[in-house]
């Protein structure tokens, strides 16, 4: 059994949030319990937990939802925010990634939220900065805060995570969201199925304790939760599957498939969505 009571009394001691792979079940539950308390607040009244702190968003990849969500969350906790975009900055002139981050830190930054196309970039920053580092996505490696949000949503609607069957459907190969979900969900006792075209679902994921499948229609009736992951065209080489139409026929969530799913199936999609594909 997952000892949820332990998480409610455990203090968070990590200086950074880099990957759900690093966290214990108790640490994940501690974050989820804290998020539940924050969710009950009036969003129109800012908290004071981060009063006097400065949070910098360093996004080296395009983002709308994640960057704005971090900024909004920081301000709702009383912090000031600083947004950085590489276009027009010294990084476009050849300044090193670490040097850019240290320059931002020298402005009095307490927390650095970083998104980067290179796996391991947030961990590299954490080794060089005094500021706390939060990973907002590093290439195909992990997206821990999206993983936590997905698990939070599952627990909110299902009242539990342990014992649920969760299907991650789509482009697993290139998905940092999939990896964070896998690490977080399995640690909390869920059974995870990864499903998609063989070219996009690496068989070696079995070593993480998940079930690998290639037939969506076969696994759908077993699932309590489905997370529809987009095809990441920007990270793919050509020929990963025959055509968009063929992919949609085999793996898109349709009305017919919904009729064959559990009545209380919970469907998640981290976005952005490729309309008519997933």
CATH code of the domain in which 262 resides: 3.40.50.1370
The residue-averaged pLDDT of 134-150 equals 97
More confident residue, 95 or 12: 12
Whole-number pLDDT of residue 275: 72
Same domain flag for 64 and 129: yes
Query: What CA–CA distance (Å, rounded) separates 114 from 61?
Result: 9
The residue-averaged pLDDT of 18-38 equals 96
Domains contained in the chain, number: 2
Query: Are the C-beta atoms of residues 10 and 27 closer than 8 Å to each other?
Result: yes
> Exposed, middle or buried by CB within 10 Å (0-12, 13-18, 19+), for 199?
middle
Instruction: Say whether pTM exceeds 0.75.
Output: yes
92 pLDDT above the threshold of 50: no
H or E segment and range at residue 70 = helix 65-76
Q: Looking at the domain assignment, is residue 69 inside a domain?
A: yes
Same domain flag for 154 and 253: yes
Share of the chain above pLDDT 90, in %: 73
State which residues form the domain around 152. Answer: 144-268
């Amino acid at each position: 059994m997952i000892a949820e009571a332990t998480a409610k009394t455990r203090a968070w001691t990590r200086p950074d949030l880099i990957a759900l792979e690093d966290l214990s079940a108790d640490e994940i539950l501690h974050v989820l319990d804290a998020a539940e308390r924050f969710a009950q607040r009036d969003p129109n009244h800012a908290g004071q937990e981060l009063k006097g702190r400065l949070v910098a968003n360093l996004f080296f990849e395009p983002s709308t939802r994640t960057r704005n969500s971090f900024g909004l969350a920081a301000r709702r906790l009383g912090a000031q925010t600083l947004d950085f975009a590489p276009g027009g900055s010294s990084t476009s002139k050849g300044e090193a990634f670490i040097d850019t981050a240290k320059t931002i830190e020298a402005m009095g930054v307490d927390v650095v939220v970083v998104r980067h196309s290179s796996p391991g970039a947030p961990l590299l920053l954490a080794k060089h900065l005094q500021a706390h580092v939060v990973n907002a996505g590093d290439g195909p490696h992990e997206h821990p805060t999206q993983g936590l949000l997905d698990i939070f949503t599952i627990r909110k609607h299902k009242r539990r995570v342990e014992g649920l069957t969760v299907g991650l459907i789509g482009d697993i190969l290139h998905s940092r969201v999939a990896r964070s979900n896998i690490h977080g969900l399995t640690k909390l006792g869920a059974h995870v199925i990864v499903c998609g075209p063989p070219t996009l679902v690496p068989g070696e994921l079995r070593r993480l304790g998940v079930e690998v499948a290639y037939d969506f229609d076969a696994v759908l009736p077993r699932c309590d939760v489905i997370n529809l992951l987009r095809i990441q065209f920007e990270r793919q080489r050509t020929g990963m599957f025959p055509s968009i139409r063929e992919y949609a026929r085999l793996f898109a969530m349709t009305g017919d498939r919904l009729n064959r799913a559990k009545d209380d199936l919970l469907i998640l999609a981290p976005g952005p969505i490729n309309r008519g594909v997933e």
